[in-house]
């Protein structure tokens, strides 16, 4: 395994090519809108002609392919258990959104071993060369090995709703990530707000709490409204930005992505070439 790790390190050091920036979309509480936000952010990136890969990491409960109304024969577990390159499990929707499915069956549960970790690292290293951004749609909470991917991501989008339960859990998630020593930038999004004021208050409260108790500065990215178009789009299995591009939630998300991309140009510090894979390797193999 050390050999594998060394081989990887060498490959990273010699690679001068551009590597995708890695973004993870997380929450504490489930059902706050991570998957819809990940998917529609990917649509927005794609509309801006950025090469984006949407990577579903909600293993066994994945729903990216369902919300996109797309069929994927192979999933992440096929890649890990069989001899496939990662590229083989990348699918494209009719609209040109590239994604990897996490699978949605109990048989998808992954029992991680060192060989699988190495395979994943190698797959990610290769795929990072082909995209500008990789968006990881995470499972709710903090439990599985996929969490290491979250901790290694360049930028972390923390999603909350105005509900106190969602806010408390979002804070717990940030606390966990800080305790694990992440140096990623945190971007806060409030979803399902009744109005802009309520959303802003939610974000500001979370920002203040993070600063006071975690000494972590977080970026307030934006507020997305409660909008019936989200549910309608999910039912019709199309991303809301595609189905209802002029809806309130779509235009707000569009602005939010613009704001992120404007900031992104100035926040390159965490995007050293190879930093994502290096961090991941350390997290998995606990090396120096």
Ligand X SMILES: Nc1ncnc2c1ncn2[C@@H]1O[C@H](COP(=O)(O)OP(=O)(O)OP(=O)(O)O)[C@@H](O)[C@H]1O
Q: Which residues bind to ligand X, rule: CB under 6 A?
A: 27, 30-36, 58, 140, 191-192, 224, 226-227, 230-231, 234, 249
Kindly state the tokens that stand for 269: 């510090």
C-alpha 163: how far from chain center: 22
Instruction: State which residue, 31 or 85, has the beta carbon closest to Mg ion.
Output: 31
Binding mask 21-50 for Mg ion (x = CB under 5 A): -------------xx---------------
d(CA 278, CA 280): 5
C-beta of 30 vs 105, nearer to ligand X: 30
User: If you ran DSSP here, which 8-state letter would residue 195 be given?
Assistant: S
Q: For 15-92, where are the alpha helices, taking DSSP H only? A: 34-47, 64-67, 76-81
Q: Which of 99, 37, 22 is nearest to 253 (CA)?
A: 37
Q: Pick one of Mg ion, ligand X, none as the site partner of residue 227 (Cβ within 5 to 8 A by kind).
A: ligand X
Nearer to Mg ion, 136 or 284 (CB): 136
Pick 58 or 185: Cβ nearer Mg ion = 58
User: Which of residues 34 and 281 has its CB atom nearest to Mg ion in the complex?
Assistant: 34
Min. distance of Cβ 201 from ligand X in angstroms? 17
Hunting for tokens 């990623």 — which residue is that? 184
Rounded to 10 degrees, the C-alpha dihedral 45/127/184/65 comes to 60
Residues 24, 136: Cα–Cα separation, whole Å: 5
Among ligand X, Mg ion, none, the one that 241 touches (CB under a kind-dependent 5 to 8 A) is: none
* Residue 269, contacted partner among Mg ion, ligand X, none, CB below 5-8 A by kind: none
- Tell the smallest beta-carbon distance from residue 182 to ligand X (Å): 20
Which CB atom, from 56 or from 277, has the smaller least distance to ligand X?
56
Per-residue CA distances from 176 to 79, 149, 151, 157 (Å): 29, 14, 10, 14
209-268: which residues touch Mg ion (CB under 5 A)?
Answer: none
- Name which of Mg ion, ligand X, none residue 149 binds, using a CB cut-off of 5 to 8 Å depending on partner kind: none
**Minimum distance from CB of 67 to ligand X (Å)?**
7
The CA dihedral of 43, 48, 50, 54, to the nearest 10 degrees, is -10
Residues that bind Mg ion (CB under 5 A): 34-35
């Amino acid at each position: 395994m050390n050999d594998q790790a060394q081989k990887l390190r060498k490959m990273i050091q010699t690679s001068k090519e551009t590597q995708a920036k890695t973004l993870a979309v997380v929450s504490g509480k489930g059902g706050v809108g991570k998957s819809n936000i990940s998917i529609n952010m990917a649509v927005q990136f794609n509309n801006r002609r950025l090469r984006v890969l949407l990577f579903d990491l909600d293993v066994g409960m994945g729903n990216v392919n369902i919300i996109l109304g797309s069929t994927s024969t192979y999933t992440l577990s096929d890649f890990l258990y069989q001899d496939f390159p990662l590229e083989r499990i990348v699918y494209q929707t009719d609209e040109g959104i590239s994604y990897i499915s996490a699978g949605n069956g109990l048989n998808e549960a992954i029992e991680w071993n060192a060989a699988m970790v190495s395979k994943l690292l190698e797959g990610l290293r290769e795929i990072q060369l082909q995209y500008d951004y990789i968006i990881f749609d995470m499972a709710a909470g903090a439990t599985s090995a996929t969490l290491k991917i979250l901790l290694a991501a360049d930028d972390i989008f923390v999603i909350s709703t105005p509900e106190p339960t969602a806010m408390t859990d979002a804070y717990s998630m940030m606390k966990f990530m800080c305790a694990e020593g992440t140096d990623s930038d945190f971007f806060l999004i409030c979803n399902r707000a009744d109005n802009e004021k309520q959303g802003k208050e939610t974000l500001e409260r979370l920002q203040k709490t993070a600063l006071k108790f975690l000494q972590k500065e977080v970026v307030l990215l934006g507020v997305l409204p409660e909008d019936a178009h989200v549910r309608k789009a999910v039912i019709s299995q199309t991303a809301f930005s595609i189905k209802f591009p002029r809806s309130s939630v779509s235009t707000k998300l569009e602005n939010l992505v613009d704001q992120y991309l404007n900031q992104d140009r100035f926040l390159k510090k965490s995007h050293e070439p190879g930093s994502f894979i290096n961090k991941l390797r350390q997290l998995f193999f606990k090396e120096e």
